[in-house]
Amino acid sequence: MTQATPLEGQVAVVAGATRGLGRAIAVALGEAGATVYCSGRSVRGRPSDLGRSETIDETAEMVTARGGQGIAVRTDHTDEAQVRALFERISTEQMGRLDIAVNDVWGGDPLSDWERKFWEHDLGNGLKMQERSVWSHMITSYYAAPLLTARGRGLIVEITDGWNYRYRGNLYYSLAKISAIHLAQGMAEDLKPYGVTSVALTPGFLRSEAMLDHFGVTEETWRDAVSADPHFIMSETPYLAARGLAALAADPDLHALTGGVFTSWGLSDRYGIKDVDGRSPHWGNYAKEQGFYPEGDL
């Protein structure tokens, strides 16, 4: 193991690695030397119902190109049988080894109606959001935990939006994102005696593929979107949080941090992480300056 590859020899699974933060996390773990199982529903020739072009096959290839070993496994994480099969495969191929499990399954954007109160919102879509982003995380962790506890070490990461229990403007969305935090903290308590760490992680204003498409810009021209939303100036690529997570996973004092809720900008400060464009956007400081949150809430 070298300083450049602190996760060499480790095995990770990123559930929801098709695009966005999940893809970036898979790539960052690969850069650090890990073998990464990239799971999700979209593969070449068989996209998910979200209808986007990104696939887990591409993500796995990116992991390998960055120095890790990427393995794509099509998995619907709401289907227990498919999740069980994924972890059985990992156990067989890696001789029972698993070091890192990341829960980044989402798929809730097209299900969220921000203009309606919860009783006016489509109930089916609201419940499906919980299935995709809460149940799937629970199923995945259920099958990851035995591999991690058997080794007496490891890391489970819950990807969320926000760092506390504040209402996020849509009941179903808010419930899903807050649930991820509570899952991380609850699992931390159960896993603590086994040496396994559980944390939650949130990005700031994420400049994902979908967000770039929303504003009609590319990563090269993203600043053109600031005229439409001035807060976009403090946006970050998925790699800021992803690189922070890779550094966290390699921290020798990782287990002392179990139960924590981490932010991309906090990890950037902690480990000296830069975004891919060399910037260090700090959504926490910016939000405080803008008065977005109550005093003391950051």
> Residue 48 and residue 87: Cα distance in Å, rounded?
21
- Whether 173 is catalytic is yes
> Residue 137 and residue 143: Cα distance in Å, rounded?
10
> How far apart are the two ends of the chain, measured CA to CA in Å?
36
Single-letter amino acid code for the residue at 14: V
Query: What DSSP assignment string belongs to 57-89?
Result: HHHHHHHHHTTSEEEEEE--TT-HHHHHHHHHH
β-strands 11-15, 261-263 pairing: unpaired
Copy the structure tokens of residue 244: 């922070």
Q: Which of 173, 194, 239, 293 is catalytic?
A: 173
CA 245 to chain centre: 9
β-strands 35-40, 11-15 pairing: parallel
CA distances from 161 to 31, 80, 106, 263, 275 (A): 25, 25, 11, 9, 19
Catalytic site residues?
173
